[in-house]
Amino acid sequence: MGMNLIQKATTKLRERFAARGLVLMYHRISEPGLDPWGLSVSPDHFVEQLEVIKKYFYPLGMQEFLRHLQRGRVPNRSIVVTFDDGYVDNLHHAKPLLERSDVPATIFIVTEAIVKGQNFWWDQLEWALLQPGMLPDCLELRLNGSRNEWQLGDARRYSQQDRRKDRQRRPWDARPGTRLAFFYLIWQRLQKLSKLERLEALDMIRAWAGVSHHARPQDRVLSKDEINVLAEGGLIELGAHTISHPSLQVLSASQQMEEISGSKAQLENIIGHPVKNFSYPHGEYSMETIGLVKRAGFEGASTTNFRCVLPGADPFQLPRFQIDDWSGEEFLRRLARWYVAT
Ligand SMILES: [Zn+2]
């Protein structure tokens, strides 16, 4: 019993002082008028964050980092930069800045949007529902054969000012009865639908709101050609992030496999060489999912578990920290806190 306690304390101490690394998760380097999910870091802030990484940390590419991990090591203060989804600003804003500071990155691509040249469904929904202006009184949707109805009330109106205020607000914090709260209700409903039902629902919503098919051009995803330009120069590695960005753990094993190895095959088809890394959409996975990712031939997979990487970490459950639109100073403060506390 006493021995056990001492062993526990020793392990804790060893962990406390072990070398550790951090994997960072970005999505977009841009300044959209509205960013309900907090996916964007401004180019200016990204420059400051890269300066902090260069000055205080040791940036590594994912493959090199995994090679260290396989040997049971994590270089102290190592940082791996990753991006999820595959927005076009990764090429136009992120790549030149990464190159200027010589920081490698891995970009995880959702392949269906790229193959079909579409915007992501959550951006299409934002385009339809969060433009300043009036919407009709009531939204009626037939989903899974059942009728759904939402009365908008005050949410019918949405001014430029409302939208500006929503810049700082997350949808789950929206005041009930507001347009942002309405958007979140519909997002939650659509999130649970199958791919096909969601497409139908988006068509109905667009027609109801009277908006065109296309979302903002700056919200678009990379094209096939742009993906190849992104990978030129060797500083950026590409990884897979499923075909359609579902929550994997609620799908059957065969549906999961289709999403996981299907996105690997589609991406390899575009870039012409093996894709070795994966990231779980929404950070959601089960033990079954991990097995499928291994079977599909990946060498590592990134989660959104909020921790540092310690020696002995599972390469198929790499923790990551989501980075917000912070100044360099704030970014350093956060990294330092995570570094000692996690
Ligand atoms: Zn994602």
Contact between 221 and 108 under an 8 Å Cβ cutoff? The reply is: no
Q: What is the rounded average pLDDT of the residues 187-191?
A: 93
Of the two residues 103 and 15, the one the predictor is more confident about is 103
**For position 143, what pLDDT does the model report?**
84
Say what the pLDDT of residue 312 is.
Answer: 93
pLDDT of residue 17: 64
Q: Tell me what pLDDT residue 192 has.
A: 86
pLDDT confidence tier of residue 144, bands split at 50, 70 and 90: confident
pLDDT, position 195: 87
Degrees, nearest 5: CA angle 24-30-35: 85
pLDDT of residue 333: 96
Q: Please tell me the distance between residue 2's alpha carbon and the centre of ligand 1 in angstroms.
A: 46
Q: Is the dihedral of CA 265, 269, 270, 272 positive or negative?
A: positive
Give the three-state DSSP class for 56.
Answer: helix
pTM for the whole thing? 0.91
Question: Which tokens in the block code for residue 27?
Answer: 């999505």
Q: Mean per-residue pLDDT for 318-322?
A: 97
User: Residue 114 in contact with residue 90, Cβ under 8 Å?
Assistant: no
Q: How far is the CA of 258 from the centre of ligand 1 (A)?
A: 17
For residue 324, the Cα-to-chain-centroid distance in whole angstroms is 12
Q: Torsion-angle region of residue 179: left (phi > 0), alpha (psi -120 to 50) or beta?
A: alpha
Return the percentage of the chain with pLDDT > 90, whole number. 83
182 pLDDT higher than 90: yes
Contact partners, residue 162, CB within 8 Å, separation at least 6 = 132, 178, 179
Q: What is the mean pLDDT of residues 80-95?
A: 97
Nearest to 114 by CA among 269, 233, 246, 256: 269
pLDDT above 90 for 146: no
Q: Separation of 22 CA from ligand 1 center, angstroms?
A: 19
Of the candidates 290, 286, 221, 223, the residue with the CA atom closest to the CA atom of residue 251: 286
* CA distance linking residue 321 with residue 244, whole number of Å: 23
Task: Return d(Cα 284, Cα 305) in angstroms, integer.
Answer: 10
* Distance from Cα 281 to the centre of ligand 1, integer Å: 5
Residue partners of 277: CB distance under 8 A and separation at least 6 = 62, 63, 66, 106, 108, 237, 239, 240, 298, 299, 300, 301, 302
Nearest of 216, 219, 212, 260 to residue 239 by alpha carbon: 260
Residue 259 in tokens: 């999403």
Per-residue pLDDT tens over the stretch 7-46: 776 666 666 667 899 999 999 999 988 999 999 999 999 9
What pLDDT does residue 340 have?
A: 84
Tell me the CA–centroid distance for residue 56 and ligand 1, in Å: 28
pLDDT digits (tens, 9 = 90+) for 112-124: 988 888 899 999 9
pLDDT for the residue numbered 4: 74
pLDDT in tens, 264-307: 999 999 999 999 999 999 999 999 999 999 999 999 999 999 99
Which tokens go with 243?
A: 């075909």
Q: How many A from CA of 283 to the centre of ligand 1?
A: 8
